[in-house]
Structure formats: C-alpha cells, structure tokens
Amino acid sequence: MDPAELHLFYEDLVRKLRDRGVVCAITRGLACVHYGIAETTQDRDLLCHPESFDDLLDLLGGTRIEGVPCCYRGNISPPLDARWHRGGWTSHFEWAAGPAAVTLDVFGHALRESTPWEREVSGLYVGMNVVAEMKRTDRDKDWPFIRALGTNMLRERDWRGWLHLFDADALIEMQEEFAIPAELLQARPVLQLAVARDTKLRGALLAERHFWQELDRLRIRVYRASLRPYVLAMGRAGTSGQATLREQHAARLACAEKDLNPSPLATHGVDRLIEEARKQP
C-alpha cells in the first residue's frame, strides 16, 4: 500500500469500529499528518477504550490486506487486555503483506495524558493536546511536531498550546500575538520567564525538554525490563504461525498472566521515576 492508501485504510478501520459502538481515535503520527504538520509518518497508532478491546480484536481478526490476516507482531506484544493497558502497556499488530508489513499499535490510555483522551476526539482523530502529550518522547524528531501542535492550538484559541512550546523563539513569537492566561503562568512557571524576557528562558526550556526526554527513556527502560520474562515465555510457547488472531491472543494471555507485570510503573514508583529523571545530567 502507498501512504495515501494506508491513510484511508486506517480511517476506514476507525469508521467500522465506530459503527460497532467502539470509542476510538487515530493518534500520534497519522494525527500529525491530519493536522497538517507532517507529510508522512511511520507511526500508525490507535487509541481504543479498553471496554471495546473485544470488538477491536474481532474486527482485526476479520480484516485482511492482500489476503493476509492480521496477527500480533512477534513475541514482544502484550495482549490486548485492559489489565495490562491500565498499567501503560501497548499492543502491536501487523499484516505482513507485500515487501513491508502494515502495522498498528493500540493504546488503551494515552501516554502522559492530562485528561481522558475520550473527551478530546475530533472526527476520526484525537485532539491536538493529546497528540502533543503523546509526542513528548525521548526522540528528537518528535519535538518539532510538539511545537507545531502547540502553535496550531493557540491559533485555534486553545490556550493549552502554551504548555507545548519548548522553543524560546516560538514562545516569544506567539506571545506577541496572544496573552498567556494567569493560570498557565502558575501551572508552568517557565512561562513567567518569557513574559519578563528573562535571559534564563532558553536554558530553562532546554532543561524542561531534557527532563521529559529522560523521563521517557527511564519509562521505556522500566517496561523493557518487565517485558523480558514474557518474551522468553512466548518463545517457549511457540505459537504456530498458522494460529488465528484469537488463538494468538489466548497464548499471550496465558503467558502474560504468569510472566508480565501488569503495571511496571506502579511497581517501580512514579515518584521515584520522576526523581531519577530530575537527577539525570
């Protein structure tokens, strides 16, 4: 499939899910394309309410691309089950059709969400605020998209856009057009440096961004450590390549119930993770 066909494929998938009453929305890279701040993307991500996971699994199991059925991606994917998604896990699927697989990552909860993502759905896509929060990753390539989302939000009079500007020039430029609400000056004190044109602004913004990137790196490290026993268990289970998606799902549930911590961050401690991120040089 070319990028345009893939885009239509994912939108059609959401429409079919909505027809079944599923609460879902496209997010991350494809949402950035939709909002006009990216031309192409390798991210194919879906937010789906955990109560609708069975409906999603049924639809994926019946959806083929060029005759190829959907399957879980390798041994690393946790099961599409609310118990693990409540703890921040993501499920990974693919259609291994043609020279490159068509992939889909499913989130039950948006990473770093400040409000429930279900309240911020716009058409087939989740709102820009949720996308910007999910883009606060350790990857440098994601940060220009965060800035673009923030400026777009301000131009649409969504003042939460001020929370997504980590570039001093962009922050000052937007301040010439829009005032920063008092409550946001309290919520994000670095904005006070922008108002005062303080010379410490650039350094403070770099420190903020560094914190978010380190927090994501540490989060990934915690999940990878918890994933190892599960991946080994899946290898021992040796699920047949001919297994249906439901059979693959049952095998993953059996392994996860024994070998996959449902909530690694709760075990590690969120406060501890934040403190570790703050101490990173």
Q: Does 16 fall in a domain?
A: yes
Number of domains in the chain: 1
What does the alpha-carbon distance between residue 123 and residue 120 come to, in Å, rounded to a whole number?
10
**141: DSSP letter:** G
**What pLDDT is attached to residue 198?**
96
Q: Is residue 83 part of a domain?
A: yes
Residue 133 lies inside a defined structural domain of this protein: no
Residue 183 within a domain: no
Q: What is the pLDDT of residues 166-180, one digit of tens each?
A: 999 999 999 999 999
pLDDT at 41 over 90: no
Domain ranges, residue 16? 3-107
**56 in Cβ contact with 79 (< 8 Å):** no
Residue-averaged pLDDT of the chain: 94
**pTM (predicted TM-score):** 0.93
Is residue 82, in this structure, part of any structural domain at all?
yes
Domain assignment present for 62: yes
| Amino acid, res. 119 | R
Average pLDDT over residues 256-265: 97
* Domain-embedded: residue 224: no
- Please enumerate in sequence order all residues whose Cβ is within 8 A of that of 125, keeping only pairs 6 or more positions apart, or say none: 25, 26, 27, 30, 31, 34, 35, 131
pLDDT at position 32 over 90: yes
Q: Is residue 247 situated within a structural domain?
A: no
**Which CATH number fits the domain that encloses residue 46?**
3.30.460
Average pLDDT over residues 37-56: 91
